[in-house]
Structure 1
Amino acid sequence: MHSDSTSVIDDELLTRIRSRAAVYDRENRFFDDDLAELRQAGYLGMLAPVELGGLGFGLERVAREQTRLATAAPATALAVNMHLVWTGVAKVLRDRGDTSLEWVLADAARGELFAFGNSEAGNDLVLFGSTTRAEPLPDGGYAFTGRKIFTSLAPAWTRLGVFGLDDSDPAAPLLVHAFLERESPESAIPGVETLDDWDTLAMRASQSRTTVLSGAVARPGRVFRRLPAGPSADPLIFGIFASFEILLAAVYTGIAQRAVELAVEAAHRRTSLKYGGRPYAHDPDIRWKVAEAGILHDGLPPQIAALARDVDELAPHGAAWFPKLVGLKVRATETAREVVDQALRVSGGSAIASSSELGRLYRDVVAGIFHPSDGESAHSTVANALLGPVPE
């Protein structure tokens, strides 16, 4: 375990979080204790400015914190990512002169927990279309009806970001973005049902359950965007994309980092009769595998830091932002899978035991292929950037 005296998560807290990860996974249980300690440490307000009660970090620093957290508990880090994405969006907008979500930063600094209620089964338009209906109300609020999947933080959120399609004017349909609010995780909200349906191979502690909306009302002050259906150049889309892809890459890089550490430990722990009882760390084939894992992982943190810094510093990448972001996500998630695979080969058959940390990482890392942007979408984005779109 690498010590980091400058981190929000000190070594003692990281050790406690790591000690709970296997239990949460085995019991398919939400990470309540992790969340309580992270909230107490100010983790939820990292991206909020100091004047609003936060820690005043940029995306580069937060990505580094998330990598560190993921070395101990990938599912905890992945779920907390959703909160940090919303605060990242609010910061991206604020840094560019748009204070429409400044209240998100203030709420986060006070310990409110933000979750994403955007994903929908079969919606490959992602942010550019929705199967959820958004019905305009006379007071300017909206009622949302639809089914949202992969709602990480489902048992604990107090603010849920949702979006849906307002087709009350068929000639000009709108995608409406808003937040639903509840006073506490135990509070019932009319029209919101959280299903207890999360029992998965990977990222079990995230408890990313299905949320069913049946006329759930967002009040007027929490409706923050009404965009034309289809692709949009609105800064909100950039903010979501940039924060999501960078922080996601950070989490899977943490998995890769921990896998390298476990491979090193295994190479020194295991001994070989073939080599006279010496540790496998002396075996040239094992050394190659450990080195391969290290080489693969080593390229990721600098890429994440550089792109996150560009977001913080308002770099003028223009249309090149999206290929850069999807490329980072795909490289990080796919590389992490390769690193974990090499670590498994080094560790031997004990890694498939249900109690094995590396076996859990092997399950958790596979979730990376399902997050947006998936491989097909990412390659399409980069191909269009390099070759231009295919003529219709």
Structure 2
Amino acid sequence: MTESILDDDLLARIRSRAAVHDRENTFFDDDLRDLAEIGWLRMLTPVERGGLGFGLERVAAEQTRLATAAPATALGINMHLVWTGVAKVLLDRGDASLAWVLDDAARGEVFAFGNSEAGNDLVLFGSTTRAEPRPDGGYAFTGRKIFTSLAPAWTRLGVFGLDDTEPDRPLLVHAFLDRDTAGVTTLDDWDTLAMRASQSRTTVLDGAVAPAERVFRRLPAGPSADPLIFAIFACFEILLSAVYTGLSQRAVVLAVEAAQRRRSLKYDGRPYAHDPDIRWKVAEAGIAHDGIPPQIAALARDVDLLVDHGAAWFPRLVGLKVRATESARFVVDQALRVSGGSAIASSSELGRLYRDVIAGIFHPSDGESAHNTVANALLGPAPD
């Protein structure tokens, strides 16, 4: 990989803050400021638009590096990068409908994802939020959005909702809201087991109006072949996988350090790195981790190069997400076994990673949805 824009000194400072944010349940304001200064928010914006001109492959690698220091910071800022990634994926394919997102990102605007809803297992193909059309072409959104990462800092919020004013032709409406839009309330309700610094709070929409120029899609409810859906899935699954792979990478390092640091009475005071059982566990962690980064790079490169996998894109993307998050859970578990009981201390970095990695099972696509996608691709639709 080309040398990272995130140097070792800044990476160390971000790592030093991560435990404090986790302990105090606070947002990563300092990380966000420092990352913005080195161009993190505009990595995917083309150079001619004021950005760094990176592709998805490069950005995924940068996010993996960031996540080795602060997974919650990386997860939170992922949501901004997903939206800028979506805008770039569309622009690369001749669709400039979200080009302004790239321009705004270059000017320092922070984008967040306001799509997740409690109980909505249709994900992007249905919504419990109401989108009410207005005479001027805008929409008023009413509903509750959960897991709104970057809640304390976003300036642009991507949302969607259901317009059912024509019951036989319901539409899913995608738009952006500004921070100061009337009817947008951010709750202070984020006190979780994992990824605490992401501050992914609930957002309540009460007739919040997106003007016509910020309404960028009106799609039939249900599965859609619109390029927007591919762009969201591709950027979300690849960048999410990158974050959990960075967490996994750090866990391997901590396992190695523990094996070399801990001493064994059974082996005459020599390091546990001499114990064949410990060596096996460290090797298992390394083997499990090592297979994921090349998969992320390959799929991200295919997105950058406009490779057309057709319908095979979706099983590949959800498969990557499941493998990356489940592999990370396994790696952290092995690292814990190597590190011993001290790892469960509240001050332990590995203990924090153990909690953070759990969040991976809840992001779309979850295991059930992913397996359904892959089964349909291999076996065809399930019979009624």
TM-score by length of 1: 0.97
Shift of 1:169: 1.4
Over the residues paired in the alignment, what is the CA RMSD in angstroms? 0.8
**4+ aligned runs moved over 4 Å, structure 1:** none
User: 1:104 — aligned with what?
Assistant: 101
User: 1:253 — aligned with what?
Assistant: 245
User: 1:42 — aligned with what?
Assistant: 39
CA distance in 1, matches of 2:363, 2:246: 16
Secondary structure at 2:68 match in 1 = helix
Shift of 1:135: 0.6
Provide, for residues 30-77 of structure 1, a one-character-per-residue CA deviation record: whole Å limited to 9, x for no partner: 000000000111000000000000000000000000000000000000
The letter for the 2-side match of 1:143 is A
CA distance in 2, matches of 1:166, 1:8: 43
Provide, for residues 182-216 of structure 1, a one-character-per-residue CA deviation record: whole Å limited to 9, x for no partner: 3xxxxx43101111000000000000000000000
Is 1:152 equivalent to 2:149 in the alignment? yes
Provide, for residues 99-148 of structure 1, a one-character-per-residue CA deviation record: whole Å limited to 9, x for no partner: 00000011111111000000000110000000000011111111000000
TM-score by length of 2: 0.99
Is 1:29 equivalent to 2:26 in the alignment? yes
User: 2:263 — aligned with what?
Assistant: 271
User: 2:278 — aligned with what?
Assistant: 286
Shift of 1:5: 7.8
Unpaired stretches in structure 2, ≥5 consecutive residues: none
Shift of 1:391: 2.3
Secondary structure at 1:72 match in 2 = coil
CA distance in 1, matches of 2:196, 2:284: 29
User: 1:61 — aligned with what?
Assistant: 58
Is 1:333 equivalent to 2:325 in the alignment? yes
Provide, for residues 163-194 of structure 1, a one-character-per-residue CA deviation record: whole Å limited to 9, x for no partner: 00011111211100000013xxxxx4310111
Q: Do 1:5 and 1:11's aligned partners in 2 also have CA atoms closer than 8 Å?
A: no
Is 1:18 equivalent to 2:15 in the alignment? yes
User: 1:390 — aligned with what?
Assistant: 382
Instruction: Count residues with an aligned counterpart.
Output: 384
1:6 to 3, 7, 14: 3
CA distance in 2, matches of 1:168, 1:259: 51
The letter for the 1-side match of 2:80 is H
Unpaired stretches in structure 1, ≥5 consecutive residues: 183-187
Shift of 1:282: 0.9
Identity %: 84
CA distance in 2, matches of 1:293, 1:391: 39
CA distance in 1, matches of 2:28, 2:321: 25
The letter for the 2-side match of 1:89 is V
User: 2:236 — aligned with what?
Assistant: 244
The letter for the 2-side match of 1:363 is R
The letter for the 1-side match of 2:27 is F
CA distance in 2, matches of 1:261, 1:347: 11
The letter for the 2-side match of 1:61 is R
User: 2:193 — aligned with what?
Assistant: 201
